[in-house]
Amino acid sequence: MASFFCSTKFFLLLILLSAVPVAFIIHLETSKPATHVYEYHSTGWLRECTKWDEVNRRFLVSFMEGGFGEVPVKEDYVPGEILKEIRVVENVGLGKNSSLGFVVDRPRSRVVVAIADVIGNLYSAVAAYDLTTWERIFLTKLSGPEDGKAFADDVAVDPEGNAYVTDVKGSKIWKVGVDGKFLYHINNPRFTSKEWYNNLVGLNGIVHHPNGYLLVIHTFSGNLYKVEIGKGDEVKLVKIIEGSLKFGDGLELLSPTKLVVAGNPSKLVESLDDWETGSVVAKFKGATHRLVTAAMVKDGKVYLNHIFGLGYPRRKHVLVEADFSG
């Protein structure tokens, strides 16, 4: 038996087995997409989150290697044209920490981004940057080695400019004031699943609803929570009547009654009772081999961010339009 593992036949078998997934990826990459796709060249392999900045006609992109970028879209853009990513922030945190989920805080003309030590989970922070000059407005440390493991993953902002940052490792929410001052944690037993394995990846995507509360997803359990901020931070479990949100990642409101849950597949959830309950009404598979991590709305259409870029020496990333009509 040992001789087989050292033989030419075993070596050829390994080549054959590795060729199967490679061939599948090539097939997916060369197949004509069913919906519109924005493509852009980048210097990085990993892009966690993308949002559309309508005022400045550009996509904003967070860099897993640390930093921030923009992808301008000209008025005369032609479908199929490959766009170019431009770095605008060299390092959003300290050292090699990653920039992750973020939100465009339009009233204050800034972007607020979650920062974390993805590998060791020993540093978490939130930063704000001016949308015009890209000067840093504040950088607030949320946790360090002395606090145990934590992982700032996504952020939402309320009308007053307060930021709410999810801790995907500790399943809590940090609240930070408009000036960057840390205020307090939002902790609740509901945030912790009974099954230990469901807590490996906890609170993740988060959005602020125009009716004054937060919606936040717990990735491994699929639980969706409604957090009544300013009302004792009461936490309610949104009852999903139809479908499952397990492995949901980033969130994006399409309207007050419709929520996009990014994932593989991504899901459109509808609520007719102010998010006491909800139902999965449609699904869409993006470029699954690139892994969907976030969603955004551009011109009334939903686009999905995929974390992996492919290609060498210039990586190409894709933003895929999600068609939930089927």
Q: For residues 314-322, give the mean pLDDT.
A: 94
Q: For residues 62-76, give the mean pLDDT.
A: 95
Task: Using pLDDT thresholds of 50, 70 and 90, give the confidence band for residue 99.
Answer: very high
pLDDT of 30 above 80: no
Task: Using pLDDT thresholds of 50, 70 and 90, give the confidence band for residue 95.
Answer: confident
Q: Which residues contact 76 (CB under 8 A, 6 or more apart)?
A: none
* Closest C-alpha to 100, from 113, 85, 119: 113
Its sign, for the CA torsion 179, 180, 185, 186, is: positive
Q: For residues 278-298, give the mean pLDDT.
A: 93
* Strands ordered across the beta sheet of 58-63: 47-53, 58-63, 68-72, 86-89
**On the CB side of 292, how many CA atoms lie within 13 Å of its CA?**
30
pLDDT of 194 above 50: yes
pLDDT of 195 above 70: yes
pLDDT of 150 above 50: yes
Q: For residues 163-188, give the mean pLDDT.
A: 97
pLDDT value for 24: 47
* Closest C-alpha to 114, from 191, 45, 233, 204: 204
pLDDT value for 136: 95
Q: What is the DSSP string of 195-230?
A: SGGGGSS-EEEEEE-TTS-EEEEETTT--EEEEETT
Phi, psi angles (nearest 5°) of residue 181:
-75, 130
> Three-class SS of residue 26?
helix
DSSP 46: B
Residue with the larger pLDDT of the pair 53 and 43 = 53
